[in-house]
Amino acid sequence: QVQLVESGGGLVQAGGSLRLSCVASGRTFNTYAMGWFRQAPGKERDFVAAITWSGGSTYYADSVKGRFTISRDNAKNTVYLQMISLKPEDTDVYYCAALRGVNVRDRDEYAYWGQGTQVTVSS
């Protein structure tokens, strides 16, 4: 069992930056690949970024590539999402999740989810 708690969301102007954090409980955090997803009201939850358990490989949605960076600190049971050059279309609730399956881009492959943190980018 893994419990995830996101933080770091907020209101920022276009072009600004935010860093999201996701702290995990449980001793097995470092065995899970981790992902970030985002969701707007009435829309599907979309893949943003993922990182393998070791941090050796990262994956990004095309829409955020070059602007967002995912990282993790297994000693702190924490995964981060650094976001720069934010755009109004990045406005969403952001969720972190722990991967149970294989396909890091498929939300159905994730076993555990946080409660989400709101990111709002004003124009």
- What pLDDT is recorded for position 26? 79
- The model's confidence at residue 27, banded by pLDDT at 50, 70 and 90, is confident
pLDDT-derived band at 73, boundaries 50, 70, 90: very high
Task: Tell me the CA distances in angstroms from 36 to 107, 118, 123, one per residue in order.
Answer: 10, 13, 24
Residue range 20-45: average pLDDT? 92
By the 8 A CB rule, do 104 and 35 touch? yes
Of the candidate ranges 21-30, 32-41, 56-65, 92-101, the one whose mean pLDDT is the lowest: 21-30
Greater confidence, 55 or 15?
Answer: 15
Question: Above 90 in pLDDT, residue 88?
Answer: yes
Report the pLDDT value the prediction gives residue 28, as an integer from 0 to 100.
84
Tokens of 69: 């960076």
